[in-house]
A and B are shown apart, each in its own frame.
Chain A
Amino acid sequence: MDGQTGPRWDLLLVVTSDQYGSVRFGTVRRLIDTALRSGHSIQVWACGEANGLTELGPAGAGHSPGEGSPAAGSRSRGGKRPAAEQIGALAAGNVGRFTWLACQTCSGERGAGEHVPGLPTPSFSDLRDYVAQAAKTVFIGGA
């Protein structure tokens, strides 16, 4: 897309599973941490419930995150920061090595509000370009 040759990112992680977009966000976070610790770069494409993780303010209509999930907007029982804060901080601190992509198409369907500033919000029709920019894609789907 920008004239560079070869993949720009080591891994694109596509998350469409509602579980991994809510109560299992911890596993997604661990994957991101593993990438960064091992010197790799990673982008996470967020559809479905995962799309709500970076939404600021109240969750979109009809897609309230599960009780106690990191996306609930309040601290979980373990005192962890909400997902939006975590993701925003990771992206700001790892420019060029991590970013979170909030699918604009899913945001539109959910009636979502604004996402964490600075995070790209590509359309679903851009997915293939992002796959092409990554050396490898892992897809976490399912219910």
Chain B
Amino acid sequence: MPAHVLAVIDHDCPGTEDMHDPLYFCVGLRLQFGGIDLVLRGPAVSSALVAADGPAPPEGNGARLPNPQRYVRSLVRAGVRVWVDDADLAGLRRDGQVLIDGVRTADTDAMAARWNEYEEVWFL
């Protein structure tokens, strides 16, 4: 079912716990709007990449280092559809990195043809 808001992030996401961070902002949007989808393009794609052989960082860890991946995981677990741009992924992914489980890839420019399915399309 189409979500209410399509959020697009195409710049760096430091993963801090404040409104300046677009992913943190996105988590807040999901809480309010319920249905949101998320597209990550450009440098933001890195927020969806993790080491293939490393364990996920423990949640609830007292040391809250900037960690954009935790927001992406949280959004996916909450049912948000998250896409990364396939061309940007090819350019940014390093050896040994994989996408966070549940994140999809797409030609996100071609996805513009689906913008009409959303009430709002916001570049965060």
Contacts and interface: CB of A to CB of B under 8 A. Distances in A.
Contact of B32 (A103, A127, A139): A127
B123 A139 contact: yes
Interface in A44-95: 47-48
B73 interface: no
B4 to A, nearest CB: 9
A137 B120 contact: yes
21 contacts: A14-B122, A16-B19, A16-B25, A48-B19, A48-B20, A105-B19, A106-B19, A124-B19, A127-B29, A128-B32, A128-B33, A131-B120, A139-B120, A139-B122, A139-B124, A141-B22, A141-B123, A141-B124, A142-B123, A143-B11, A143-B12
B124 A124 contact: no
B115 to A, nearest CB: 13
Interface string B85-124: 0000000000000000000000000000000000010111
Contacts of B123: 139, 141-142
A2 interface: no
Interface of B: 11-12, 18-20, 22, 25, 28-29, 31-33, 120, 122-124
A37 to B, nearest CB: 26
Given A18-B20, A103-B19, A105-B19, 6 more contacts: A48-B19, A106-B19, A109-B18, A124-B28, A128-B32, A131-B120
A79 B32 CA distance: 41
- Interface residues of A toward B: which range? 10 to 19
Contacts of A137: 120
Contacts of A18: 20
Interface string A81-119: 000000000000000000000010110010000000000
A103 B20 CA distance: 12
Interface in A1-40: 14, 16, 18
A109 B11 CA distance: 22
Contacts of A139: 120, 122-124
Contacts of A103: 19
A127 B22 CA distance: 15
Contacts of A14: 122
A103 B28 CA distance: 13
A131 to B, nearest CB: 7
